[in-house]
Amino acid sequence: MILTNAQIVLANEVIKGTVVINEGVITHIDHGNVSLPGAIDCHNGYLTAGMVELHTDNMEKHFTPRPGVSWPAIQAFKVHDAQMISAGITSVFDAVSVGDVIEGSERLNNLSRMVDALNESRERGLTRADHFLHLRCEVSHKDTLNNFQALLKQTPVQLVSVMDHSPGQRQFAKMEKYREYYQGKYKLSDAEMDAFITRQVDASQRYSATFRESICATCHELNIPLASHDDATLEHVEESDHFKMVIAEFPTTAEAAKAAHSKGMSVLMGAPNVVRGGSHSGNIAAHELASAGVLDILSSDYYPASLLESAFSIAQLENNDYDVPKAMNLVSLNPAKAAGLNDRGQIAVGQKADLIWSTLKEDHVHIEQVWKNGQRAF
């Protein structure tokens, strides 16, 4: 396959020319265009590497599209996969929660169904993107450690993050934001919300420290990359560094993000945060970290279509030094490296032919086509 007349976004520059693909791998990158029969004319659009998504919970919403509605697992997973590939995400780490902040939650009820659907879809060749398993470990939940250990026996795991969403810290250092979020989410009265807060604080004190220690030790034994979550203070970052975490997911303050970056951790922020112009929890904005030069990775989090849009948004902002190649690295090369995937994430000879052809239309980026291993996927 030959793709020509494209603005090819390499890791450090943009060149105009042609990319040649054989057997799913990039074999030549040339300046200038060709007029060979069968060559695909990209009409001067951008040709970028397929994106690598490290932390999305997009899958679970398809398993319970409405409260009390359980959708057939394989069908739910296929829709999730289709959303990923149509957004230009060719490699995705599906983040499933092995603990939650509320008893009897749908996400815990769906945990085995989601993991089984992921595995079966891969084995049957039903996926268009490459899917990997990311376990989100809510260490303040009493069943998290048992769930984590059981899943490790059941299936390969490629990434683990450790989080504690109890009130008064990390994502919800501001109690009014915690009340606003969970009281609205679960329709709790003031009295019920007070009791909910008491239970969450008690659970965190009971389980978090022990579970965090045990989970991190197991990951080190199995050589599974570890990510921290919602670091807010220097003490949090020191703790993450102590546990040899390589990714700092969603730090909530500039102080924590800068400290994590200085320690060699890859700072990951939400693409919706970029598209919306700030954090929905009142925390640090991703574009401010870009201005400070400490933004390394973007994740679509809960909205797949936000990922490519966020990269081009960062490149267009004037108060940072991100051009298009550096901004695209936030969603391709940097996450691939952080997760230990060395065969993808950039347009270079010998890399997988995971590619996106897109054009800028007015104030947004429009995806024309997506290829996975050199095959048209969207």
- The reply to whether 51-344 shares the fold of 1-49+346-377 is no
DSSP string covering 137-185, please?
EETTSTTHHHHHHHHHHHS---EEEEE---TTBTTB-SHHHHHHHHHHH
Domain 51-344 belongs to what topology? Answer: TIM Barrel (3.20.20)
Measure the CA–CA gap between 353 and 359, rounded to whole angstroms.
Answer: 19
Q: Does position 29 have pLDDT exceeding 80, yes or no? A: yes
**Domain 1-49+346-377: CATH superfamily, name plus number:** Urease, subunit C, domain 1 (2.30.40.10)
- Mean pLDDT is lowest, of 134-148, 167-181, 301-315, for 167-181
Listed by start position, the domains of the chain span 1-49+346-377, 51-344
| 86: alpha, beta or left? (left if phi > 0; alpha if psi -120 to 50) | alpha
Question: Taking residues 284-305, what's their average pLDDT?
Answer: 96
Q: Does position 194 have pLDDT exceeding 90, yes or no? A: no
**pLDDT by residue (tens digit) across 48-107?**
999 999 999 999 999 999 888 999 999 999 999 999 999 999 999 999 999 776 666 677
Six token digits for residue 234: 């220097």
Q: Is residue 279 within 8 Å of residue 305, measured between CB atoms? A: no
Q: Does position 173 have pLDDT exceeding 90, yes or no? A: no
Six token digits for residue 377: 């996927």
**Rg of the chain, C-alpha, whole Å:** 21
Q: Is residue 143 within 8 Å of residue 132, measured between CB atoms? A: no
C-alpha dihedral over 173, 143, 248, 299, to 10 degrees?
Answer: -100
DSSP string covering 117-147, please?
HHHHHHHTT--SSEEEEEEEEETTSTTHHHH
pLDDT on residue 105: 67
DSSP string covering 300-334, please?
-BT-TTHHHHHHHHHHH-SSS---HHHHHHTTTHH
Q: Is residue 52 within 8 Å of residue 332, measured between CB atoms? A: yes
Convert 150-180 to b/e letters by CB count within 10 Å (16 or more is b).
Answer: ebbeeeebbbbbbbbbbbebbbbbeeebbbe
